[in-house]
């Protein structure tokens, strides 16, 4: 009898470890440094996408309004995935979507938008990518939810269904 207790115990022990790891996997594992959140957005002056005019960040971001700053490029494959969600969000009244066109060719970017439609209220051209780095972006696509000139959420990678509903809830 004594011989059976130890193996049974071990099996239960490992099963419980399995369970804990399994639970751990379901926790969100994208770590966003706290320092990036609730931070004031960086101020900048940049060139507009469809004209040669410059625009400053103060002119774009007003207080008491939600903005979704979205970094995209025509060559970026996941950007296509999230595009439908952006189109959907652009129908919302209380959010404006600001596009950062990252390291892109203007003609290609335009054909991308004419193919998939344009969700952006305003697009800024970020030819050399420095502007996005200034924001602390890791890559494309990436989105920042902004309210009162503060970043309240940072999304790394494409917006998916869950994130889409989360944004919708936040801006209500």
Partner 1 sequence: MASLIGYYSLIFGLCSSFFIIFFSVKNFKDSSTFNNKILSLTFLQLFFVVVSFFGLILSFVNSDFSNETVFNHSHTTKPLFYKISGTWGNHEGSLLLWLLVLTLFIFLFLLKSKTQTKKYRILTLLFQQIIIIGFFIFLIKTSNPFNYIFPIPSEGLGLNPILQDPALAFHPPILYLGYVGSSIIFSSTLSAASLNYISKDWAKHIKEWVLISWIFLTLGILLGSIWAYYELGWGGFWFWDPVENVSLMPWLALTTLLHCILVLEKRLALTSWVVILSISTFTLSMCGTFLVRSGILNSVHTFASDPERGLFILIFLFCLIFLSLFIFFFFHKVEKKNMKNFFWLSKETSILINNWFMMYFLSVVLIGTIYPIFLEVISSDKISVGPPFYNKLIIPFLIPFLLAMAIGPKLDWIKSEFQIKLYSVLFLIISISLSFLIIKNLSVNFLLNTILVSSAFYLFFITLRDFFDKKFKLFSQTLAHFGFSLFILSILFNNIFSTEIITNLKIGETFKDDKFKINFEKIEKRNEQNFKEIVGKFSIENHNGDVDILEPAIRIYNQPNISTSEADIKTNLLTDKFMTMNLIQNQEYFSIRYQIKPFMLWIWFSVSLISLGGLISLFYRKYEK
What is the separation of C-alpha 37 from the centre of its chain, rounded to a whole number of angstroms? 13
Binding site for partner 1 (CB under 8 A): 7, 10-11, 14, 18, 20-27, 29-31, 75, 77, 103, 129-130, 133, 139
User: φ, ψ for residue 100 (rounded to 5)?
Assistant: -110, 105
CB of 102 to partner 1, least distance (A): 9
Residues 6+ apart with CB under 8 A from 69: 41, 98, 100, 135, 143, 144, 145, 146
- Output 27 or 64, the one with its CB closest to partner 1: 27
DSSP 8-state assignment for residue 64: T
- Output 88 or 111, the one with its CB closest to partner 1: 111
CB of 159 to partner 1, least distance (A): 17
- Output 32 or 88, the one with its CB closest to partner 1: 32
- Output 133 or 170, the one with its CB closest to partner 1: 133
CB of 172 to partner 1, least distance (A): 26
CB of 1 to partner 1, least distance (A): 14
**What's the token pair of residue 170?**
């936040």
Q: Is the dihedral of CA 139, 141, 146, 149 positive or negative?
A: positive
């Amino acid at each position: 009898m004594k011989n059976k207790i130890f193996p049974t115990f071990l099996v239960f022990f490992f099963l419980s470890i399995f369970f804990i790891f399994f639970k751990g996997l379901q926790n969100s594992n994208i770590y966003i440094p706290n320092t990036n959140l609730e931070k004031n957005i960086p101020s900048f002056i940049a060139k507009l996408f469809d004209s040669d005019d410059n625009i400053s960040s103060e002119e774009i971001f007003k207080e008491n309004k939600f903005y979704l700053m979205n970094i995209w490029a025509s060559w970026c494959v996941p950007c296509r995935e999230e595009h439908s969600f952006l189109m959907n969000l652009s129908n919302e009244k209380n959010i404006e979507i600001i596009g950062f066109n990252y390291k892109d060719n203007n003609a290609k970017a335009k054909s991308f938008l004419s193919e998939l439609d344009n969700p952006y209220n305003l697009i800024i051209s970020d030819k050399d990518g420095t502007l996005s780095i200034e924001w602390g972006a890791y890559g494309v696509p990436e989105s920042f939810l902004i309210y009162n000139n503060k970043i309240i959420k940072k999304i790394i990678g494409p917006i998916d269904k869950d994130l889409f509903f989360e944004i919708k809830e936040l801006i209500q």
